[in-house]
Amino acid sequence: MVVYLLFKIDSPTSYCTAEMTFLGTLLGPGTTLAILVGAFVSWLLLQKRPPNMPPGPRLSLPVFGYVPFLGHYPWISLAKMTEKYGNIMTMRLGTLGFNYGTKLSVVLNDYDSIKAALNDQADEFESRGPDPITEFISTGKDGKIHGIMNMEGEKFYAQHDFIVRTLRDLGVNGARVDELILDEFEQLYDALVQHGKSGQHAMMPFYDIKQATMNILGMILFGKRYDYEEKTLQSWPVFVRFVMSILIGSKLRQISAVPGWVVGKLHGLSKVRTVLEESLESHIKTYRKEDLRNFLDVYIRVQKEKMDTEALLAMADKEDLFSCLNGMFTAGPEATAIILWYSIFYHLKFRERQKQLQDELFRVVGNRKRITYADKESLPYMSSTMYEVVRMCGETPLGQSRENPKAAKLLGYTIPARTQIIPNFWAVHYSAEYFPDPFTFKPERFLTDNGKSYALPPQYIHWSIGLGRRSCPGVELAQQMIWVLMANLFHRFEFSVPDGEVLPGIHEYSALLVAHRPKPFKVLIKPRLN
């Protein structure tokens, strides 16, 4: 009955009324009244705010906090509120803004405050705080939290550095990973030509693109790729999105936890764990220290040699390994595919930009079918295009929330211990002060030296990568994948809008998830080169 009410009732008013009716039936009027009075007193106490905190709205509803007043796109509402409260504001929200209960939160709406907290004072604001989504993904078979998403302290830094170092050793930024990306692009090319019938059939290529990003990362992490018709690897991110949509769905249903038996069942659905177990066993049998093929081989070397103390701290056992790989494989392909999907979307919304990009690609590369990462410096408009897509898309507009384990000072304000810190990256990237005419897709804003090179202003932040010590350790791989795939997509294909298809607005998103994308639309894809 309780579960039915949680899922069936969407509005805060009907939700609370249903709960009170149910409690009254179950407990009797006297007990119910006492509980409600106690809850009201607790709510009144929560309205008190510690001294010297940033300004902000004091209104906070029981259970919901300020969330109902932020609308469907909280990051836009929060940015508008700076006119009244300034760039740093205090309010009560749930963890991630959407869970049961209210939590004292500080929202950062400009680059200076975000940089101060996440970069300059990273040691004071390093904690991720409670997060049911990442805790679920990071929990091993031993019931403990593993992996960098929820780790803190010395082990977090060891794992972060281990991932960065390992990816570089495996060829990130170099020809080895370039070749892997380009080989996969040829498979993607064939799939898009087949599914789109050479431009004659309207299609939504997002899932083909995501399959390519999953295959690339799968090869780097555990040496596996799958055919575009096979769904083995697709199932895990789809399943994770299902969990996310329950926890932080677009209607902001207030669910703070999933029962333990449900979590157990959901873990049993994870095919990626099975893939990792089988891959590790196979790699142990075929391991050769002089030929490190992927992330698994590096882990095996660490366990066999036991000489690198920092690496042993980072990867103490296979639960650490699997949680790290799970985290990277869950977040990486989805975020990368979303950015590539947005690149197609913006070049359909701003048609003249597609021609400008393709003119540069053809002028520099000609009929050569493969564009490599080594071509990047010769293609400044292409690079500026990638950064402009990332600026506008806002895949993770509120980044990843942080907490301060101890009381701290931030730009003159006192921040009590365990306050939720929310960076509003959207407010930075859509600030006319930092990026003039921010709602227009303008890759040339990053060009310098009469278009011969490009440069990013200090206020530029990659949404899903973040800032400071908790930034994504896979940033270099992500940028290489995005750049190479985007350049080759626009060099080899012409994208157009089918007759009768209406593109969504620039800020019309699919159901709110941790990373969102445009509402669904179809596209015609026509090969450009013979």
Q: How far apart are CA 381 and CA 452, in angstroms?
A: 8
Amino acid identity of residue 119, one-letter, is N
Q: Helices in 232-375 by DSSP H: which ranges?
A: 235-247, 260-268, 271-286, 295-305, 309-314, 318-349, 351-365
The DSSP annotation for 221-234 comes to: HHS----TT--TTT
- Edge-first strand order for the sheet with 420-423 is 88-93, 103-108, 420-423, 402-403
The count of other CB atoms within 10 Å of the CB of residue 297 is 21
**Structure token pair of residue 217:** 């990362």
Whether the Cβ atoms of residue 218 and residue 224 lie closer than 8 Å to each other: yes
In 20-87, the DSSP E strands lie at none
Helix (H) or strand (E) holding 408: strand 408-410
| Whole-number Å distance between alpha carbons of 376 and 380 | 7
* Partners of 89 in the β-ladder: 107
Name the residue type at position 146: H
Name the residue type at position 366: G
| CB-based contact 442:388 (threshold 8 Å) | yes
Q: Is 472 marked as binding a ligand? A: yes
Tell me the CA distances in angstroms from 491 to 366, 372, 387, 526, one per residue in order.
9, 12, 18, 11
CB-side neighbour CA atoms (13 Å) of 449: 6
Q: Are 495 and 349 in contact (CB under 8 A)?
A: no
d(CA 76, CA 68): 14
Measured CA to CA, the distance from residue 204 to residue 189 in angstroms comes to 14
Q: What is the dihedral of CA 492, 498, 504, 510, to 10 degrees?
A: -70
Closest CA to 50 of 405, 423, 417: 417
**Are 61 and 100 contacting, i.e. CB atoms less than 8 angstroms apart?**
no
User: How many Cβ atoms from other residues are within 10 Å of residue 439's Cβ?
Assistant: 11
Q: Which residues are annotated as a binding site for heme?
A: 472
Q: Which residues are annotated as a binding site?
A: 472
